Amino acid sequence: MQTLSFEIATTFLDDAAALASGAIRIIIQILNQPVERLANACDVAGVLPRRRAFRQALRQTFRRRSCLLPLRGLRDLT
């Protein structure tokens, strides 16, 4: 009985943390929209699209290197 109440409490805390994290992410995106529009308007040389493409390629490279952390894919199996 004690483990069931512990599981419910931890699940509630995990959900609350995910909700707070999502809310903070939404607020940050809303606050950054004017800055992003200004940056895109002032980007004469086309640096921002190249930077975004580079970051995306970098993320793709690190996703392919799963041999560094072979158990990383198991984090979704909760």
The domain limits of the chain are 2-68
DSSP state letter for 68: S
Can you give the pTM of this predicted structure?
A: 0.52
Q: Which amino acid is at 15?
A: D
- Residue 18 and residue 7: Cα distance in Å, rounded? 16
Residue 6 reports pLDDT greater than 70? yes
- Residue 24 and residue 26: Cα distance in Å, rounded? 5
Share of the chain above pLDDT 70, in %: 76
What is the phi-psi region of residue 43: left when phi exceeds 0, alpha when psi lies from -120 to 50, beta otherwise?
A: beta
User: Is the Cβ–Cβ distance between 66 and 73 less than 8 Å?
Assistant: yes
